[in-house]
Amino acid sequence: MRAGLLGIEGLTRDEIQAILDRARNFQPKPDEGFRKLDLLRGRMVVNLFFEASTRTRTSFEIAAKYLGADSVSITAQASSVSKGESLVDTLNTLAAMRPDAIIMRHAASGAPHFLQRHMETPIINAGDGTHEHPTQALLDARTILDRGASLEGLRVAIIGDIAHSRVARSNAYLLSKYGANIVLCGPASLLPQELKQIAPGVTLTTRMKEAIRDADVIMMLRVQLERQHESAFPASEYFQFYGLRLEHLRLAKPEVIVMHPGPINRGREISSEVADSQRSVILNQVENGIAVRMAVLERVLSGGAVN
Ligand code: NCD
């Protein structure tokens, strides 16, 4: 069976490195646009998004087009899911049209893994519930490496709603394969103790200053209100305890970079001054989303399964 990209957990460091290296070839030169290539001419990908997305969906679509492939995007609201069709039936229907890959985002953790077991068409996971978001972790790694840093021994603070974050999980898997030190930080109610088991390099703290001290990278996360059925903390106090402000940056290494997968909520988890500062690489992450997704699409569509 052909396979797509379901998660970072099952990838080897060599497989990850191959994608990161290839993505570098697709990055535009300074002051130039992305090169339009025809490496995947005649191929067709379907984007199937059951959850909201701006960056991920658009960049998968653009990445496919920059490689010469065609892409079609469907949102759940506009599909027959709204008429009661099951997920399996929707996927089988799309697979019958013989696309070369299906890129999917779904609120249920494990949905793409379950579907891949029953389908020939490769699936690329664009975020499954609170589980994994592999291309986000890959583009984050590409962005850190672009700053000249090696991932080995790096201190990365990931701060916010860890419990509901597929971005935190995929990054913890990826960075720990490279021997980085990862500090997961958030309110106790949003910081599952079992995440320590991901790797020896993963530690947990509820204290933001402790997480940021000597950090090379600060990765902020949005509070995923859509995944919380009751409030895990008083909303009015969140920014006071876990919002990133300029004064925090003094505790980190002088060359610290601030990342955020987006969408950012200014004044909630990050101040505008930090988001718009010289230390912020948030828009570099967005740009790298294209290059990394080009590398992933090329690999999956040319039969080199990623996992
Ligand atoms: C993230 C996601 O969907 O998991 N966004 C993204 O893909 N860039 C994070 C979020 O929604 O907060």
78 and 174 together in one domain? no
30 and 126 together in one domain? yes
- Which amino acid, one-letter code, is at 244? L
Residues 38 and 68: beta-carbon distance below 8 Å: yes
Check whether 298 has a pLDDT greater than 90: yes
Residues 69 and 40: beta-carbon distance below 8 Å: yes
What mean pLDDT comes out for the span 262-278? 97
What mean pLDDT comes out for the span 112-138? 96
Predicted TM-score (pTM) of the model is: 0.96
222 CB near ligand 1 (under 6 Å): yes
pLDDT in tens, 138-186: 999 999 999 987 999 999 999 999 999 999 999 999 999 999 999 999 9
90 and 158 together in one domain? no
Tokens for 253, please give them: 């290494």
37 part of a folded domain: yes
Which residues form the domain of 175? 148-280
143 part of a folded domain: no
Tokens for 234, please give them: 């008083």
With CA atoms as reference, report the closest residue to 92 among 119, 111, 63: 119
pLDDT band at 225 (very low <50, low <70, confident <90, very high): confident
- Which amino acid, one-letter code, is at 117? R
19 and 129 together in one domain? yes
56 CB near ligand 1 (under 6 Å): yes
94 and 213 together in one domain? no
What single string gives the DSSP state of each residue in 28-48?
A: PPTT--PPP--TTTT-EEEEE
Listed range (10-24, 203-217, 230-244, 247-261) with the worst mean pLDDT: 230-244
Pocket test for ligand 1, best of 128, 167, 226, 285 (most atoms within 8 A of CB): 167
**Closest C-alpha residue for ligand 1 atom 7:** 56
CATH value at residue 90: 3.40.50.1370
Q: How far away, in angstroms, is 262 Cα from ligand 1 center?
A: 6
170 and 269 together in one domain? yes
